[in-house]
Amino acid sequence: MKKHLKLLCASTLIFGSLLTTTVKAETADIPSTINWTIPFGVGGGTDVWARFIAPYLTKYIPTHPTVVIKNQPGGGSITGTNLFYQRARSDGSDILGTSASTLFPFMLGDKRVRYNFDKWMPLMASPTGGVVYVQPNLGVKSAADIDKLNGVTLPFGSQGPTRLELPVLMAFEMLGLDVKPVFGMKSRGAGRLAFERGEAKIDFQTTSAYLNSVEDLVKNHKAIPLFSLGVMDEDGKIVRDPAFPNLPTFQEVYFQKYGKKPSGNEYTAYSKFLAAGFAFQKVIFIPSNTPNDIIQAYQKGIKEMLKDPDFIKDSIVQIGPYKNIVGINAAKHLQEATKISPELYAWVAKWLKQKFDYSL
């Protein structure tokens, strides 16, 4: 009898404590401070993006946590991301903000990369687009005249063969343009300056930089836009960029020139790096073993944030007229983009070696 009583007491206790924990879990135990690791320096593109979003996160996550931006620059974001991979707590107090330069080294098998995206879940992705433009003195008025560029050497200021320009360099090659990249530009902005000086004959900028600095050049007949890189729709298809509805996409220009759709290894590689570099230009990650209710609280908060009219207004200024990607589709497309088969990897490695004498 005594034994039974003990057992009963114990089981009530256990059950009771279980009950209380489940009750607790329903109100999502989000820590009062969220550390948002940004593996880049203060004032850079990803940092500014995060600082723009942070106050809205505080506003829309139910418990209104303080969001602290932790800059951990180094190795073009590899250092900070590695640290996050090792140390991030999975109680919802740690999130990560990445950019193309976090995804590319992972895809290219950089020796320094010790992270992998299996352990993380994307909460939100901010896409961007990009436009390719040329000097007006080449006799080209639009992409329709692209054949006039045959045989013309086009210097192009680039940061490096494995940087954001990687898919753009592939696009140039597929279009048969004789582009001569000059590496070592400190930023895309430095590449634009080389274009403005007339040193570079072809250039490419992401949407916000294009809208702010190149559109003036176009108006003053100092630059001719050729094509945009397009944006990815919800099914993963490339469509015209809403910021540049009058510009053809790369795919359209390719079709116009060759009368067929692009395909093959190079196009597969192009599509993957394009998705990683542009559709998933900036991503918020959370460790996937964070308790479900906390992740859901984040997701709910972000969804509400995206509906905030102030956020939408500022977002157009900061990011461009693009829809931030959330939900399961985001995770699926991101996984597809970052998965590189061994054959494709071998192809990319060979291409980099042949074209730029760059060894992976």
- Residue 30 CA to residue 39 CA, distance in Å, equals 23
Contact status: 358 vs other proteins (CB under 8 A): yes
Residue 304 host element (H or E): helix 292-307
Least spacing, CB of residue 237 vs other proteins, in Å: 31
Binding-site member from 51, 257, 300, 323 for other proteins (CB under 8 A): 51
Binding-site member from 100, 146, 168, 194 for other proteins (CB under 8 A): 194
* Closest to other proteins by CB, 80 or 92: 80
Contact status: 290 vs other proteins (CB under 8 A): no
Convert residues 162-181 into a mask of x (bound to other proteins by CB under 8 A) and - (unbound).
xx----------------x-
Q: Residue 210 half-sphere exposure, CB side, CA atoms within 13 Å?
A: 26
Least spacing, CB of residue 305 vs other proteins, in Å: 14
Contact status: 321 vs other proteins (CB under 8 A): no
DSSP 249: B
Contact status: 155 vs other proteins (CB under 8 A): yes
Q: With CB under 8 A, what is the number of residues at the site for other proteins?
A: 52
Residue 194 host element (H or E): helix 188-196
User: For residues 306-322, b (16+ Cβ closer than 10 Å) or e, as one string?
Assistant: beeeebeeebeebbbeb
Distances (CA, A) of 145 to 164, 169, 174, 312: 26, 20, 16, 37
Binding-site member from 256, 288, 299, 318 for other proteins (CB under 8 A): 318
Using an 8 Å Cβ cutoff, are 305 and 57 in contact?
A: yes
* Closest to other proteins by CB, 115 or 227: 115
In the three-class reduction of DSSP (H, G, I as helix; E, B as strand; rest coil), residue 111 is classed as coil
Task: Pick out residues in 68-127 that bind other proteins (CB under 8 A).
Answer: 68-75, 79, 112
Binding-site member from 59, 136, 314, 349 for other proteins (CB under 8 A): 314
Burial of 191 (0-12, 13-18, 19+ CB in 10 A): buried
Task: Pick out residues in 21-50 that bind other proteins (CB under 8 A).
Answer: 41-44, 47-48
Beta-carbon contacts of residue 189 (< 8 Å; ≥ 6 apart): 209, 213
* Closest to other proteins by CB, 73 or 176: 73
Q: Which residues pair with 96 in a beta bridge?
A: 37, 285
Which residues are at the interface with other proteins (CB under 8 A)?
41-44, 47-48, 51-52, 54-55, 68-75, 79, 112, 155, 157, 160-163, 180, 182-184, 186-187, 189-190, 193-194, 196-197, 199-200, 208-209, 212-213, 216, 314, 317-318, 356-359
